[in-house]
Structure 1
């Protein structure tokens, strides 16, 4: 048994027993997450290509995070995205070569630098984000306020459990 199996077995031992109906519902949630993650992957590829035809999804994720956060240290970016700093370094080099990211000296520590999005990157990312946001709003407005609030509450609970 691998470590994943041991962890799952240990977790299962501490949980209250679930009925077949609960397990079936959980399996359906898992299936819906799989579908959602596949759609998100496709969406990330499309977003990246709208920024630049050679931009990979991971590069888009970094770039959009830098745009959203403002200038940021590479280590903080790695922590924010739960990824290795070497991945950040490789992707930042690509983004610099594309003209989307620049390094700025940290005035508090001249040995360190901030990663900052260029004005062109900010404009492109904001255009892509605005179009995607418009689609999300258009879709969720069909649900009604109570359903949208319930979705937000459930997602918040899920995010709290995932920590």
Structure 2
């Protein structure tokens, strides 16, 4: 624990002070996450905007989907999604095939090259993440993970 942080967390700190300190740390986490996402997106493909990485990462995690499903899943409007899909297809990162259930629709999937680029980008994220926790004990990792899980659960 850094000295500056420890100083703020003295035993006599009020709950409000602790909540404010938590807010500071969460803001730092979110800022670091945004910066890491930007670096990961650049590693995915430097000619694409970061939103393309969000599409590719979702497809990597969940598999092929209709463009409308993909747009909804990543909270992007359909026209932006369509434009990115077209650009990613031009770069041979995505491919489309007819939807077997609806011949008017298509299914979008990562190509092998697209999957390789997603793995490369995720390696950037993983390396950075693991560097930050490399010196932590397994007990600290367990505690941090459990607390984040509790914080992120809808019940709080």
Q: What is the TM-score when the length of structure 2 is the normalising length?
A: 0.78
Alpha-carbon offset, residue 112 of structure 1: 2.0
Alpha-carbon offset, residue 131 of structure 1: 4.0
Q: Which residue of 2 aligns with 1:51?
A: 44
**Larger relative contact order (C-alpha < 8 A, sep ≥ 6)?**
2
Residues 148-157 or 31-40, more deviating: 31-40
Return closer, same or farther for 1:144/1:94 CA change in 2, 3 Å cut-off.
Answer: same
Runs of 4+ in 1 over 6 A off after TM superposition: none
* Inter-partner Cα distance in structure 1 for 2:106 and 2:123: 29
* Inter-partner Cα distance in structure 2 for 1:100 and 1:83: 19
Return closer, same or farther for 1:162/1:27 CA change in 2, 3 Å cut-off.
Answer: farther
C-alpha distance after superposition, 1:36-64 (max 9, x if no partner): 22222222221222222222111111112
Q: Which residue of 1 aligns with 2:8?
A: none
* Inter-partner Cα distance in structure 2 for 1:49 and 1:95: 14
Which residue of 30, 36, 56 corresponds with 1:37?
30
Point out where structure 1 has 5 or more consecutive residues left out of the alignment: 1-19
Q: CA RMSD in A?
A: 2.3
Q: Is the 8 A contact 2:71 2:78 kept in 1?
A: yes
SS of residue paired to 2:154: helix
- Is residue 92 of structure 2 the alignment partner of residue 94 of structure 1? no
Q: Which residue of 2 aligns with 1:140?
A: 133
Across the two proteins, how many residue pairs are aligned to each other? 144
Return closer, same or farther for 1:130/1:152 CA change in 2, 3 Å cut-off.
Answer: same
Alpha-carbon offset, residue 22 of structure 1: 2.1
